[in-house]
Amino acid sequence: MAPPANDLRPFIVTLSVPVDIFRATLTVAVPSARLGRELPHDRVVVILPGRLAGSLATLPGVNAVAPDELLKTLRHDQPRHFRD
């Protein structure tokens, strides 16, 4: 069962491994997570249930994890017609 949409949170993850390797690790370790955009400087956006955020930091190849406040604001605080 998929988590409720309002439970999903975006995080910026800084990597020390290629994105493809991280994607494979993420898929196995946190099946409910979704890899979002690739960002400059070896960073990606990962969207997952907020309660699982701590598990991101323990994955191999992860240097840092930070909440993506801008994306969270755009996704959750805007009226629905602005998000669709």
Contacts (Cβ under 8 Å, ≥6 apart) of 37: 44, 45
Architecture of domain 5-83: 2-Layer Sandwich (3.30)
pLDDT at residue 14 in the model: 97
pLDDT at residue 45 in the model: 95
Instruction: Please state the domain extents for the chain.
Output: 5-83
Q: What residues of the chain score a pLDDT lower than 50?
A: 1, 77-84
The answer to whether residues 26 and 46 touch, using CB atoms and an 8 Å cutoff, is yes
